[in-house]
Structure 1
């Protein structure tokens, strides 16, 4: 499965488009596959207890998705980690 990563995840993966082989058909399986394939991405995606960081956004076919949502192999998946900076 190919997916698009944004922000600081690009530094962890080395590219905007990455390929992973999730062990299951859920968003959780995709996130776990990204962390396994790109260990430096873990701190951007999950907290120390293994839960998805509240500021991380995952979309499947353009719609926001939760970890337990289905994620078919041909879906367009994007990962948006927490972004820092900006002004108020």
Structure 2
């Protein structure tokens, strides 16, 4: 019997990256972001940003990875300078 780990079976679903501006800070490190195309989404901070204590304020330009299943939710993966 072959020993197969879970990582071999799991395929990472990559989302769509988009640029946006943080409009509002919501509870639990969640933010309202307006994308370049004018849509407003809800986004949370990625784990690496949280681990490195990267602060996000209203008005910051961010890169967001949108979920392929629900385009109204996303993850903030980078804060632009």
Task: Compute the TM-score of the two structures, normalised by the length of structure 2.
Answer: 0.29
Task: Compute the TM-score of the two structures, normalised by the length of structure 1.
Answer: 0.27
* Structure with the higher helix share, 1 or 2: 1
Structure with the bigger RCO (C-alpha within 8 Å, sep 6+) is 1
**Structure with max Cα Rg:** 2
* Structure with the higher strand share, 1 or 2: 2
